[in-house]
Structure 1
């Protein structure tokens, strides 16, 4: 288990053919086609030219027939190939005339398969978009009942607890989500431990807690952090800009052991976790993105259908919107968003709401 900062890498299969190679291949193919059609029989062309010259010089009345005349007896030398092709192919065409499709029924070369592929691609895109709009898994329920839900197929469990959040001399009753994520067969990470440490520890069971990760230092995200961490002898992770709020809540005796920042990463057991900078609700808010599970824990930055509020207000709405657009909605559209409160949603579903927030 360790913390390290590192730049994001972009991986993907390398192209097997360069653009230059493709261009050369196309030119070669075009050259082969031209050589196989135009000027296919130069000796026939020469004979046609000689014959036309002889007939022109031997006409008594000096009249000249149209090269493309109805009798087809004389043609422009450059059309020798077309004439020969027409002569060779005509009997076959006549024999099959009854079976030949009408012009308006003839298939257009090159249109069939690409259109089918394009249609299939469109259907796939529509399916992904539709899936992104549907409720997602166990955590899409709109109710706010206290208790434990899960684990889901990805090994994620939600613990809901109720508490009082004090902000700007006001008190707010909230139902907070704590997320327990399977890191391997032996242990888990706990994200945003809310108001019920006992419920969290019971849901963890005999497994080890490798890390307690907080998205910021507001009460619903850190209330039980120390108790859960001490019980399991685990480290706590928090952005350094949240330390002042942390000290107001927990004092200076127990500082978080790990400082996390945007563009960093956590490698814990089998999980690789990217840390996303999500300032707006507070200057040190972060999200935790696990690409292999297709899930991001957004804290209070983004909830289903709305940017998250602190109490009943927005702290820095413009910055918060920028964080949502750049860090969360840029993820694949089927990425599940698991917030600090309320039901889950997806990046694709919330992308359709973004313009109404601006």
Structure 2
């Protein structure tokens, strides 16, 4: 079996700054019939474990530590025996989601992970959250952006620990440097491509002022 990308949509809530919202999250599995990497552990560890279907989970990679992306991480780690990784700049958000639970292993810019003969490259893309990271998979012509870039533009920056100029810089420097045909697998909603989003950069900047 060649390396494939599998999406699991889970539902729950996102809470920050005293508000709570209902959300659907995209959980991504990259791998073959032997092993997988899970990107984000949202809401429902059992549903994610069902999708893993007994395969070895090499790692659970977290794009950022908003609670809707990490609430199932400890339970999924326990169920699969897999290590969890997060950029340590998101420590304050992790503490909000999992008070007293030790931080996951650190993600660093340029770090790589191997699954089923395919390499994922970690790139730090702060803005939506201080430790926000994306995972570039050159072999698949894909990038997993969490809440940094969506179909229609950057992720939200109106809440604590976020910053609009920073997210635009991250998208410009890291994501828009990728080939235009690169498929963007997002943390919520539908896929897009780098080429579809790149022409709108000036509109984002204008919108942010």
Please, which of 179, 189, 197 is the counterpart of residue 45 of structure 2?
197
Match in the other structure for 1:292:
139
Paired residues of 2:13 and 2:23 also in contact (CA < 8 A): yes
- What is the alpha-carbon distance in structure 2 between the residues aligned to residue 308 and residue 314 of structure 1? 13
Match in the other structure for 1:87:
none
1:119-138 → structure 2 map (5 Å cutoff) = none
1:329 Cα offset (Å): 1.2
For residues 197 and 217 of structure 1, do their structure 2 counterparts lie closer, same or farther at Cα, with a shift above 3 Å needed?
same
1:154 Cα offset (Å): 4.9
Where does structure 1 lack aligned partners over 5 or more consecutive residues?
A: 1-152
The SS at the match of 1:176 is: strand
Q: Deviations over 1:196-240 (max 9, x none)?
A: 111111111121111100011001210111111110100001001
The SS at the match of 1:325 is: helix
1:357 Cα offset (Å): 0.8
The SS at the match of 2:22 is: strand
Structure having the higher helix fraction is 1
Instruction: Indicate yes or no: 2:25 matched with 1:172.
Output: no
Please, which of 273, 277, 280 is the counterpart of residue 120 of structure 2?
273
Paired residues of 1:281 and 1:316 also in contact (CA < 8 A): yes
Match in the other structure for 1:233:
81
Paired residues of 1:167 and 1:311 also in contact (CA < 8 A): no
TM-score, length-normalised on structure 2? Answer: 0.91
Instruction: Indicate yes or no: 2:162 matched with 1:322.
Output: no
For residues 311 and 231 of structure 1, do their structure 2 counterparts lie closer, same or farther at Cα, with a shift above 3 Å needed?
farther
Instruction: Indicate yes or no: 2:7 matched with 1:158.
Output: yes
Larger radius of gyration: 1
The SS at the match of 1:341 is: coil
Q: Deviations over 1:149-168 (max 9, x none)?
A: xxxx8511111111111111
Paired residues of 2:63 and 2:145 also in contact (CA < 8 A): yes
Please, which of 188, 195, 203 is the counterpart of residue 36 of structure 2?
188
Paired residues of 1:261 and 1:277 also in contact (CA < 8 A): yes
Q: Which segments of structure 1 move beyond 4 Å, counting only runs of 4 or more?
A: 310-314
Please, which of 103, 106, 122 is the counterpart of residue 259 of structure 1?
106
For residues 158 and 194 of structure 1, do their structure 2 counterparts lie closer, same or farther at Cα, with a shift above 3 Å needed?
same
1:193 Cα offset (Å): 1.2
TM-score, length-normalised on structure 1? Answer: 0.54
Across the aligned residues of Structure 1 and Structure 2, the Cα RMSD in angstroms comes to 1.8
The SS at the match of 2:144 is: strand
Paired residues of 1:180 and 1:189 also in contact (CA < 8 A): yes
Where does structure 2 lack aligned partners over 5 or more consecutive residues?
A: none
1:89-168 → structure 2 map (5 Å cutoff) = 154-168=3-17
For residues 284 and 313 of structure 1, do their structure 2 counterparts lie closer, same or farther at Cα, with a shift above 3 Å needed?
closer
- What is the alpha-carbon distance in structure 1 between the residues aligned to residue 23 and residue 85 of structure 2? 23
- What is the alpha-carbon distance in structure 1 between the residues aligned to residue 101 and residue 22 of structure 2? 28
Please, which of 156, 169, 172 is the counterpart of residue 309 of structure 1?
156
Paired residues of 2:3 and 2:118 also in contact (CA < 8 A): no
